């Protein structure tokens, strides 16, 4: 049965099949984006470039998303959401195939640009899709399910891609993810319910320009928090494989297992986030970010103690695993229905600005200072993000209080 849009949902069963298909699409998209992270040393060695230049592929991918997402989302705002998901998955698969065949670093850059163009629109559509499928009080639960795809990418996708790349070569890892993406496109065609994403005005209601929507300042504030927190994460995590090898002195063959450990811990964190996201998205986010800070601090201070490193990575994974879902739930609760698609576009733009910026800053630090500085820089961003989140929460609460009508 087709599901109506956000303004006209009918009472129906929770759309678990559709949400699981969305989770699968997110899984393959995120795996494709972060696959170079686990294969960074292998790719650098075969293409005869530095590890920081391979890390730059993450920046190039993310920069493409940042530049293209909002304008492409605006140009396609009248198109079917389901059709767009299928189209962008096919384009992402094409980019992965080109990456697998790339004879030079420059062709690999072109492949990442193609993937980035599709990835931005993918997230602009998928980021709001779950909110079109369910009523508002179920958004947190729906987002936790779809976000499971991103967590599964870190639990299974990137570690398995890393292991496959080590076993048969990084090119076949990219080819394999392209095949899986095409399979998911078929599943989307078959199982994802279509939605009506258009917002219908009530009788007598006057259309207000999006820029004057009262929920927009809250959306922008959340975007700022995303940029600060996620930039710190990606300064460090982009180069986690060389850090584990050269600073923590783990064998290269163990990296896939450690990434699997991190991702598995993230799945636990996502499950916890799903339980609290709708009720405690603000406080839960601050607590989780503070725990991430403590875990990264342990990694920074005790990098050569394998027990501390593994324990800290597990704690880091649990605490960080729920952060994206909390932020997305908070964004969808904050944005009014009429700016929800715009909020989703800004959400993915902010994430990718942070991913690209973090990878770029991390690469510069890697070349000029060394790997040991990366967790300390992450700590600075995390601390700033906590302060910014608390300050902006107070501002938004005061703003909402002033907007409430006072009793006569």
Query: What are the tens digits of pLDDT across the range 259-306?
Result: 888 888 888 887 777 666 556 666 778 889 999 999 999 999 999 999
Does one domain contain both 320 and 184?
Answer: no
- Do both 163 and 265 map to the same domain? no
Regarding whether 244 and 172 lie in a shared domain, the answer is no
**Are 184 and 274 in the same domain?**
no
* Residue 186 pLDDT class (50, 70, 90 cuts): very high
CATH code for the domain in which residue 258 is found: 1.20.1250.20
Residues 219 and 163 in one domain: no
The verdict on residue 206 lying in a domain is: no
Quote the tokens at residue 348.
């993915």
Answer yes or no: is pLDDT of 128 > 90. no
Print the SS3 string covering 18-87.
HHHHHHHHHHHHHHHHHHHHHHHHHHHHHHCCCHHHHHHHHHHHHHHHHHHHHHHHHHCCCCCHHHHHHH
215-273: pLDDT as tens digits: 788 888 889 999 999 999 999 998 898 999 999 999 988 888 898 888 888 888 877 77
Q: Same domain for 262 and 390? A: yes
- Give the max Cα distance, the chain: 74
- Specify the range with the lowest mean pLDDT, choosing from 83-87, 141-145, 177-181, 189-193: 141-145
Query: Does residue 208 lie in a domain region?
Result: no
pLDDT, one tens digit per residue, over 346-376 is 888 888 789 888 988 998 998 889 899 999 9
Both 118 and 152 in one domain: the answer is yes
Whether residue 163 is found in the same domain as residue 36 = yes
Last residue of a domain, one of 164, 197, 230: 197
Is residue 192 located within the same domain as residue 230? no
Q: What's the mean pLDDT in 321-343? A: 78
Whether residues 228 and 99 fall in one domain: no
Question: Final residue of a domain: which of 150, 170, 197?
Answer: 197
Domain, as residue range, for 113: 14-197
The last residue of a domain, from among 169, 197, 225: 197
In this model, does residue 383 exceed pLDDT 90?
yes
Pair 24, 86: CB distance under 8 Å: no
Specify if 394 maps to a domain.
yes
Q: What is the pLDDT of residues 386-396, one digit of tens each?
A: 999 888 878 77
**The pLDDT value given to residue 278:** 55
């Amino acid at each position: 049965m087709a599901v109506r849009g956000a303004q006209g949902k009918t009472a129906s069963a929770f759309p678990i099949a559709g949400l699981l298909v969305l989770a699968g699409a997110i899984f393959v998209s995120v795996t494709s984006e972060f696959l170079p992270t686990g294969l960074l040393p292998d790719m650098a060695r075969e293409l005869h470039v530095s590890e920081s230049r391979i890390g730059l592929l993450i920046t190039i991918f993310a920069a493409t998303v940042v530049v293209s997402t909002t304008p492409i989302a605006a140009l396609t705002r009248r198109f079917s959401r389901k059709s767009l998901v299928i189209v962008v998955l096919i384009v992402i698969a094409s980019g992965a195939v080109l990456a697998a065949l790339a004879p030079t670093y420059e062709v690999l850059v072109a492949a990442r640009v193609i993937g980035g163009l599709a990835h931005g629109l993918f997230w602009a559509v998928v980021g709001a899709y779950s909110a079109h499928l369910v009523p508002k009080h179920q958004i947190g639960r729906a987002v936790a399910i779809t976000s499971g795809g991103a967590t599964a990418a870190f639990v299974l996708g990137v570690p398995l891609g890393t292991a496959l790349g080590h076993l048969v070569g990084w090119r076949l890892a990219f080819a394999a993810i392209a095949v899986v993406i095409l399979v998911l496109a078929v599943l989307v065609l078959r199982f994802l319910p279509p939605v009506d994403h258009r917002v219908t005005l009530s009788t007598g209601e006057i259309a207000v320009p999006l820029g004057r929507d009262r929920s927009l300042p809250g959306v922008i504030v959340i975007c700022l928090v995303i940029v600060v927190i996620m930039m710190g994460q990606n300064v460090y995590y982009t180069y986690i494989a060389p850090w584990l090898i050269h600073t923590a002195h783990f064998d290269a063959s163990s990296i896939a297992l450690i990434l699997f450990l991190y991702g598995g811990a993230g799945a636990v964190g996502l499950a916890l986030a799903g339980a609290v996201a709708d009720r405690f998205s603000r406080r839960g986010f601050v607590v989780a970010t503070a725990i991430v800070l403590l875990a990264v601090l342990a990694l920074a201070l005790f990098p050569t103690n394998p027990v501390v490193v593994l324990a800290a990575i597990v704690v880091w994974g649990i605490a960080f695993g729920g952060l994206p879902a909390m932020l997305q739930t908070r964004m969808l609760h904050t944005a009014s229905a009429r700016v929800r698609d715009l909020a989703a576009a800004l959400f993915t733009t902010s994430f990718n600005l942070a991913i690209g910026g973090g990878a770029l800053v991390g690469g510069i630090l890697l070349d000029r200072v060394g790997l040991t500085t990366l967790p300390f820089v992450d700590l600075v961003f995390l601390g700033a993000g906590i302060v910014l989140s608390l300050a902006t929460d107070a501002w938004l609460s005061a703003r909402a209080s002033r907007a409430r009508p006072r009793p006569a």
